[in-house]
Structures are given as C-alpha cells and as structure tokens.
Amino acid sequence: MSNDAYEDSGSPHLRMFKTIGQFLAKFGLNTDVCRQLGNLLRATSEIFDIEQKEASMKIGVNARSEETRQAGRVWLSGMRMAIGTGLGKLGDAGLMTEADWHRLIDQVEHEAEATGFVLRWWAAWGKRKASI
C-alpha cells in the first residue's frame, strides 16, 4: 500500500492506509516501493525469472462472499490491534495516538459495512542465481 496514493482524504480507509504507511516508515519500512518490486529485484542482478502481480480484495459490503467479508473483518481487527499497540508503545502523538487510531478503525469498519472499499497489494518473486 503506497503512502503516496493516500494524500489527505476524507475517506476513513485512505486515512488508515496513510497512517499505516507513516507508522511503518518509523521503522525504516518503505511502503512506497510496492509497484517497483520487480524492478528492485532485477536491480540486484541476483534474481531471474522475475514475476510480479497486483492483487486486490473488496472489504466490507462489496466482498465476493460472506467468507471474504469475514476475512476483511479479521484483517481490520488485526490492524486495529497491531498498529494500535505499536502506536501506544511508540508514543508519537504527532503521528496518531492509540485512542485516535481506534476511533479511526471504528470509522473504517463503518465505511466497510456501508459502502465497502478495496485493499490493494503487490508482490514480486523470482529465482535466485546459484552462488559458487
């Protein structure tokens, strides 16, 4: 989930994605490289047969099935706890307080059930060259 794509938006799920990106950046993780994964692997010259894929999942009311809808709820619950706990330990109110995070996730859960949204992610993989 690229942080660049989530400029100041009134949409709760976009604010959530932006906050997750900023939180991960505090630990040196760059979420802005998602679409560049294949190119990054190619640049190493150590990996070949590189493939990449963009995938998406509808969260909430527009989910493909009740099982997928439930998976979205579980994912949101995991994000609530993982990022919320991390924000609490980080103590960086400039980013977001843990209480504000929980309020935001409440809004995201409401949005998911009212209109739904799409979660996108990217993956890349290949084979490592044998080293001698």
Q: Give pLDDT tens digits along the chain (132 positions).
A: 444 444 456 899 999 999 999 998 888 887 777 778 888 888 988 888 999 999 999 999 999 999 999 999 999 999 999 999 999 988 876 788 999 999 999 999 999 999 999 999 888 899 988 765
What pLDDT is attached to residue 3? 41
Question: How many other C-beta atoms lie within 10 A of the C-beta of residue 77?
Answer: 12
What pLDDT is attached to residue 30? 79
Residues 6+ apart with CB under 8 A from 81: none
What pLDDT is attached to residue 92? 72
What pLDDT is attached to residue 9? 61
Amino acid letter, residue 78: G
Task: Sketch the domain layout of the chain as residue ranges.
Answer: 3-126
What pLDDT is attached to residue 35? 76
3-class state of residue 91 by DSSP:
coil
What global pTM score does this model have? 0.79
Amino acid letter, residue 131: S
